Amino acid sequence: MYLVAIAWLYVAVMMAIAEATHSQGSILGAIITLLLYGVLPLSLVLYVMGTPMRRRQRLQQEQVQAQAQDENPVPAQKPPADPLKTP
């Protein structure tokens, strides 16, 4: 997954450099090219591709917490005395 991301970013950087060094290009055009063709789509793809990993980590953390509760249960508290009952 990261190899594709690195290659994508490399191509976007090369496009930005070509835009900046071209006689009709500009630095502003290079920055916009880098953002619109590189950073924004890449961040979206990496976020979507990382969803299963985040879900797996969350489930694993929930399992660890459930096991910790099973091993160390909270002691049952004595129910409060009935205020209407007289001794």
**26-40 pLDDT, tens digit each:** 999 999 999 999 999
Four-CA torsion 55, 60, 63, 69, nearest 10 degrees: -110
Angle between helices 2-21 and 40-49 (to 10 degrees): 180
Quote the pTM value: 0.64
Q: What pLDDT, in 10s, does the model give residues 53-62?
A: 999 999 999 9
CB atoms < 10 A from the CB of 54, how many? 10
